[in-house]
Amino acid sequence: MVSPAIALAFLPLLLTLIIRYRYYFVLFYRAVLVRIWKDCVTGLSREERAFQYVLTNSTPGDPDSILDAFDYWCSKVEFISNIGPKKGKILDRLLMEQSPLTVLELGAHCGYSTVRIARALPLGARLYSIEMDQGNAAIAEKIIRLAGFDDDTVELIVNPSDEVIPRLRSDYNLERLDFVFMDHWKKCYLPDLQLLEGYGLLGKGSMIVADNVLFPGAPKFLRYLRKCGLYEWKIHRATLEYSRGIRDGMAELIYQGIK
């Protein structure tokens, strides 16, 4: 049994850790504990609960209204790791600057970033969005169509990215990707980037934007960028979506081709 004196000696250290990592404790509570409790109480997945809120608190055919409803739900009700409004504005700006005609999204999740990208595309552009989880893809499909985007603008592909990328040229007639947005499993960032390179889907000037490269982090992906010499790149520093005090960032890459 620990004596009171020893317990008191460790109290300052405990308080220091709680204060230093308070934002991570809040994130754990919102992202894990609340989710487990509400899964049990409602019998619905977190993504299904988000969809129900968006459906009843947004205007069909209005992408801005749908994103606003998502942002409110994720910041005030339950945490979902969308790109969020702050980093989303950086993505908006990059899309406006690039005006890409062919866009690939890796990780649709429940459709937030898909809608955000689709609303910024020029006339005649097409977005191919890959989501491996069938349940999440079903929600994303509803959100995308609720926002008013049809198959001619957004095509949702339900399969793992490492299975789809090698077939993009043969099955979808894609010769070059102008813009790629990565927001799926962070461990897949590097192998999927190398697949895109290997299958010749990137041309000089193709832009790749990768979210959450600092938290949870994609260290192998960043090490590769430093060493490979194929990209001009930089990190847009920000905080984690719908959170305070947790540093994060998005990587912006411009493919320069093989030298």
CA gap 152, 172 in Å, rounded: 13
pLDDT of the residue at 7:
53
* Active-site residue flag, 76: no
End-to-end alpha carbon distance in the chain: 66
* Active-site residue flag, 39: no
* Active-site residue flag, 62: no
Full set of structural domains in the chain with CATH: 12-77 (no CATH), 85-255 (3.40.50.150)
**Three-state DSSP class for residue 256:** coil
* Active-site residue flag, 151: no
Q: Is the pLDDT of residue 244 over 90?
A: no
pLDDT of the residue at 74:
95
User: Which residues, 6 or more positions from 76, have their beta carbon under 8 angstroms from its beta carbon?
Assistant: none
- pLDDT tens digit sequence for 145-173: 999 999 999 999 999 999 999 999 999 99
Residue from 251, 248, 243 nearest 80 by CA: 243
Torsion of CA 128, 130, 135, 139, to 10 degrees: -30
* Active-site residue flag, 57: no
- pLDDT tens digit sequence for 86-140: 999 999 999 999 999 999 999 999 999 999 999 999 999 999 999 999 999 999 9
CA gap 165, 249 in Å, rounded: 25
Q: Is the pLDDT of residue 2 over 60?
A: no
Set 131, 212, 248, 252: catalytic member = 212
Set 47, 48, 71, 211: catalytic member = 211
Set 47, 183, 248, 252: catalytic member = 183
- pLDDT tens digit sequence for 88-101: 999 999 999 999 99
Set 186, 192, 248, 252: catalytic member = 186
- pLDDT tens digit sequence for 56-87: 999 999 999 999 999 999 999 999 989 999 99
Give the angle subtended at the CA of 47 by the CAs of 118 and 50, to the nearest 5°. 80
Give percent above pLDDT 70 in the chain. 92
Mean pLDDT of the chain: 93
Report H helices in 147-188.
161-164, 168-172
Is the backbone peptide bond immediately before 216 cis, with ω within 30 degrees of 0?
yes
pLDDT of the residue at 14:
56
Report residue 8's pLDDT band, with 50, 70 and 90 as the boundaries.
low
Report residue 11's pLDDT band, with 50, 70 and 90 as the boundaries.
low
Report residue 255's pLDDT band, with 50, 70 and 90 as the boundaries.
very high
pLDDT of the residue at 17:
60
Q: Residue 161 in contact with residue 184, Cβ under 8 Å?
A: yes
Q: What tokens does 80 get? A: 């979902």
CA gap 127, 95 in Å, rounded: 12
User: Which residues, 6 or more positions from 113, have their beta carbon under 8 angstroms from its beta carbon?
Assistant: 82, 83, 88, 91, 105, 107, 181, 183
